[in-house]
Amino acid sequence: MTHSVGANQEEGPPAPRDASAAVTKAGWVGVVVNRSSGKGSGPRLVERLADALGDYQLGAKIAWTPAERKAMVARADGDPSCRCLVVVGGDGTVSALVNEKLSVPLTVLRAGTENLAAQHFELRGNPRWLAHTIATGKAVPVDLGRANGRRFILMTGFGFDGDVVTRHHDMRTSRTGAIRTTHRAAYVEPILRSSLSYRFPEITARIEDPGAEETLVGTTVFVFNLPRYALGLPFAPDASQDDGFLDLVVFRDPGPLQALYYLWKVVIGTHLDHPGVYHRRVRRVNLTASGTVPVQLDGDPAGYLLPVAVANSAVPSHSTSGLTAATTRDHWTIEAVPGAVQVLVAETPASGVNGVALASERGFR
């Protein structure tokens, strides 16, 4: 991967004229790739990124598989010459990397369907621009959420949302286990199927913060770390990446028509004023349910919340998702993990983070 990329081929900051113009010391960048993201464009983006990093005296080491990713994280944690790890993929790949508990900063080259994390941090899909950001940018601390031990950077959803995500994942998984590329229109069929068959069991959310204990009951529950959801829907518009809290949003009433009504309220930005919608900022919440509830984390299926004392046989037969003891249980505990990762961002974002200010100072630091 040594061919050059001319300025007329893609927009972005100019490459340094020579080594002395580079603002970083020689080092390396780990690149974690999801081959199927962005309609399979990952390998091409990796080549262009590696070429652009070379202009800043930064080498690129590539991880194509989960095993290679794990080995790269271990190597980076003990190597001060590693500038950062780059995700070339979508939100699922970002989520997989944060679960490796890395200690070096991460950043994202947008290549997936939604790219919500990249959107939030104003990171682009332009390899030359990202190489410049890696060389000149800065790392900011970011909280994570943790659900039954698994970390998430965006949000987790329980109920109708989780059912749609699980059905969509099962539809794009081949008989051999390979994951096909996807697009927004691919959600239409799972939404219709969920609307016809999901039963909306009751979910009880027990907030366990000392001095702020409370019990809320609903049928669809979200817990947000960042204020991002598919299609730009503002479920938790004031969620902050560095305040040590998660934003809990509970929709009380069941049924597909009620879900559609709630969705309309979200679109127009008035759902948090509705008496059937509860919003709390929490550090820790425990969920139980009266029936089997599908769960999603960062847009991928994450198992099920089962009714108390019901065995794994209660998992819906349509699911082919892998299940473990941690992801299929009769209770889920979700908690904030303050400052768990660092994200490498541009030195001067246009508007904080897409207009959503940091808790610390209304901008990056």
CATH (domain of 320): 2.60.200.40
Query: 171 and 320 in one domain?
Result: yes
Give a yes or no: residue 9 inside a domain: no
Helix, coil or strand: residue 14? coil
Give the whole-angstrom CA distance, residue 89 versus residue 353: 20
Q: Tokens in use for 24? A: 């970083």
Q: In what order do the strands lie in the sheet with 293-297?
A: 277-282, 246-251, 220-224, 155-158, 293-297, 300-305, 328-329
Closest CA to 192 of 259, 292, 253, 254: 259
- For residue 78, the domain's CATH number is 3.40.50.10330
Query: 186 and 127 in one domain?
Result: no
Query: 158 and 70 in one domain?
Result: no
**For every one of its 365 residues, what pLDDT tens digit does the chain have, with 9 covering 90 and above?**
333 333 333 444 434 333 333 444 579 999 999 876 555 577 889 999 999 999 999 999 999 999 999 999 999 998 999 999 999 988 989 999 999 999 999 999 998 777 899 999 999 999 999 999 999 999 999 999 999 999 999 999 999 988 888 765 556 555 665 555 554 555 556 567 667 778 999 999 999 999 999 999 999 999 999 999 888 899 999 999 999 999 999 999 999 999 989 989 999 999 999 999 999 999 999 999 999 999 999 989 999 999 976 645 555 655 545 555 566 788 999 999 999 999 999 987 654 444 443 444 333 32
Query: 297 and 224 in one domain?
Result: yes
Give the whole-angstrom CA distance, residue 98 versus residue 198: 31
Query: 69 and 167 in one domain?
Result: no
What's this model's pTM, rounded to 2 decimal places? 0.82
Query: 178 and 218 in one domain?
Result: yes
Give a yes or no: residue 141 inside a domain: no
Q: Which domain holds residue 26?
A: 19-136
Contacts of residues 324-329 at CB distance under 8 Å and 24 or more positions apart, as own/partner, are: 326/148, 326/149, 326/150, 327/148, 327/150, 327/295, 327/302, 327/303, 328/303, 328/304, 329/148, 329/303, 329/305
Query: 190 and 323 in one domain?
Result: yes
Query: 299 and 236 in one domain?
Result: yes
Instruction: Tally the domains of the chain.
Output: 2
Give a yes or no: residue 114 inside a domain: yes
Q: Tokens in use for 201? A: 């069991």
Residue that finishes a domain, picked among 136, 167, 184: 136
Give a yes or no: residue 100 inside a domain: yes
